[in-house]
Amino acid sequence: MKALLLRDLRLAIRTGGGFGLGLAFFFLLSVLVPLGVGPEGGILARIAPGILWIGALLACLLSLDRIFALDHEDGSLDLLATAPIPLEAVVALKALAHWLVTGLPLTLVAPVLAVFLNLPPAGYPWLMISLILGTPALSVIGAFGAALTVGLRRGGLLLSLLVLPLYVPTLIFGAEVIRRGAETMSLATPLALLAAISLGAVALLPFAAAAAIRVNLR
């Protein structure tokens, strides 16, 4: 299982599977929004939580179709489906690899990019906490969507349509954590809901994704 994780990480980095592309997209969004909205600090501070989370969400979305596509093209997915390793564990490892090359780097650079959006200083630690708690759900939900569309030609658009509605609760509560943290308000409810979404996705969706892959490989 460790070898499979390392293999996916190497492939993601070598083939541009979201590592540099996601960071570049996140950076461009953080720079372009202030240019389009204007230099008014109060407006930027109000929209910063939502913009940062939308940027992270879309950056993760860019590389979702690669989670299973390359393995399906070269036949590795058929071998993995019949390997001694449970297919659910394979899905979980691929989601983890996706998070390590997209969600984690986005979390680390988010405070730097938040400077462009004039996020209040009190919101910086909560920005990182919300991304750490929420981005695993983005990767696991994305892996489920990728499993549903594996093998389909031009399935990227369909994948986006499938997963974007599922991303909405994570987006709402993630942005709310940052907003409340920046305003020094109570954070218990959005934090708990954000963590519950990620834990529920990690616990349930690998099984659903594995079932979808088995159906698509028949």
Share of the chain above pLDDT 70, in %: 96
The predicted model scores a pTM of 0.91
Instruction: Tell me: pLDDT of 17 over 60.
Output: no
From CA 27, how far away is CA 11, in angstroms rounded? 23
For 48-99, write each residue's pLDDT tens digit: 999 999 999 999 888 887 888 777 877 788 888 777 888 899 999 999 989 9
Cα 101 to Cα 9, 82, 200: the distances in Å are 7, 27, 22
CA distance 41 to 62: 30
